[in-house]
Amino acid sequence: MNIEDYQQARLSRDPRFDGIFFTAVKTTGIFCRPVCPATPPKEQNVEYFETASEALVSGYRPCLRCRPESAPFSPAWSGTETTVKRALSIIHQNGFNGLKLSELAEKLGITDRYLRKLFEQQLGVSPKSYVQHQQILFAKSLLHQTHLPINQIAYACGFNNVRRFNDAFKRITTKTPSDIKKLQVSDAPIRLQMNYQPPFNWQHWHDFSEFRLMQGIESLGTSSYGRTFSWLTEQGNYIKGWFNAVHRPDKQGFNVSINIDDAKYLYPISQKIRQVFDLNANIGLIQSQIIKSGFPENNLKQGIRIPGCWSPFEAGIRAILGQQVSVKAATNLLNTLIQHLGDHEPQSSENENKTRYWFPTPKQIKGSTLAFLKIPQARKDTLIALATWCDTHPNDPVELWLELKGIGPWTVEYAQMRGEANTDIWLESDLGIQKALDIFPEIDAEQAKPWRSYLTFNMWGML
């Protein structure tokens, strides 16, 4: 983007650019989202930044009105496959607890020094500063929106004690946590607003999910979606919870209520919820690239997001059960698996008693013969093999599943697309894709990189 693009977007308060850049006002020392409702400042008093971290490190403090910490995370350069993008993915997926720069660099296959250099070049800040800025911005969001006490907020943001949290918060924002917090402390559910860049094709997301709904785990309303979840901690045990999200297109976001066993894991879980809805997608950039591939513009479904699974393991189980059967049959098998092996607890409602289920863990599946599933023994063996692998290698890349008998490229790629939010999966061997290519043979998927997952879903939408 050039200066004229920045200026036009901020003056029009265009929500499509929310999260792509931030506007800092030299005369007030405050930085804002481009959608801020405040009276726009004069251009000579404005400075532009691609990330909130750059604005913070330059001495600006976040606006209390538009709250930059609520902006969707989708900077303009995030579409390219870079080391920094991979680093950010690890940071945002794993949260702040126990994160070490040396371990992050090792996962990326580079040195600490080179990692610092890349962050300075692309983000204008060091990795350490970036992480602390994310901690403070998330803390600010919790202080504004939740009834959590300050000590729990500090804990959820990766601080071991409140004093360190208070010092860091004041140093970066010039205010204390108590200055920000207005809501009274209570046991009310954690409620967060999660924003996106429009458009968001809710009907497509809703219909895709409805056809594959997991009974007892997921719930789907006209404008809402909820589900239970489990989170594997660094100690190897699972914490449980559930969330419910209500779509608010007028606010370009979702109102999300979260119930969780341990607030320490609130940040990575909130990021996983964003992944389930694909809220970080830069739709304008993605759709322009899809059109360049030769996909007919009049067939393009505006605002398609990738409906995410909670984990690659869950996506892999779905894919294996879907081999050589219809979507309906695969969903019935999945629900049978959940009913037999998933943890569950009764929940009372006004009209009826229901049971809340959780998706079976790898350990639960590998310990079963799966005799209750009416599928070939070879497919049962594949399910057990995947569960055994994921139980003993929970953090290994999904592509290593190819070593397992019964798992081929389609299953791996499906799990990467829906379980890992990989934006560049092209399911060329899929029967539906092949049928669509018969209708539009001029489409060149290579031209849609790095957004071929969205091309895949648009191709499915043509059938």
pLDDT by position in tens, the chain (length 463):
678 888 999 999 999 899 989 999 999 999 999 999 999 999 999 999 988 999 999 999 999 999 999 998 766 555 445 788 888 888 888 888 777 888 888 888 899 999 999 888 888 889 999 999 999 999 999 999 999 999 999 999 999 899 999 999 999 999 999 999 989 998 888 999 999 999 999 999 999 999 999 999 999 999 999 999 999 988 889 999 999 999 999 999 999 999 999 989 999 999 999 999 999 999 988 999 999 999 999 999 999 999 999 999 999 999 999 998 999 999 999 999 999 999 999 886 554 568 999 999 999 999 999 999 999 999 999 999 999 999 999 988 899 999 999 999 999 999 999 999 999 999 988 989 999 999 999 999 999 999 999 999 999 988 7
- pLDDT, residue 77, reads 53
If one counts the domains in the chain, the total is 3
Q: What pLDDT is attached to residue 99?
A: 73
pLDDT score at 79: 47
Does 152 lie in the same domain as 101? yes
Q: Let me know if residue 166 belongs to a domain.
A: yes
CA-to-CA distance for 427 and 453, rounded, in angstroms? Answer: 8
Residue 8 sits in the same domain as residue 59: yes
Domain contains 448: no
pLDDT confidence of residue 80: 47
Q: Are residues 39 and 95 in the same domain?
A: no
| Amino acid 83: pLDDT | 85
| Domain match, 143 and 60 both | no
Residue 212 resides in a domain: no
Note whether residue 449 is domain-resident. Answer: no
325 lies in the same domain as 403: yes
| Of 68, 96, 120, the domain-final residue | 68
State residue 195's pLDDT score.
Answer: 95
Residue 88 sits in a domain whose CATH number is: 1.10.10.60
**CATH code of 10's domain:** 3.40.10.10
Residues 338 and 364 both lie in one domain: yes
Alpha carbon distance 247, 303 (integer Å):
14
Residue 125 lies in a domain: yes
Q: Give Cα 195 distance to the centre of its chain.
A: 12
Residue 452 lies in a domain: no
Q: Which domain holds residue 88?
A: 80-180
Contacts 24+ apart (CB under 8 A), 245-251: 245/194, 245/273, 245/277, 247/200, 247/202, 247/223, 248/193, 249/198, 249/200, 249/202, 251/193, 251/195
CATH number (domain holding residue 370): 1.10.340.30
Q: What is the pLDDT of residue 426?
A: 95
Last residue of a domain, one of 151, 180, 209: 180
Burial class (CB in 10 A: 0-12, 13-18, 19+), 262: middle
pLDDT at 123: 82
Assess if residue 49 is contained within a domain: yes
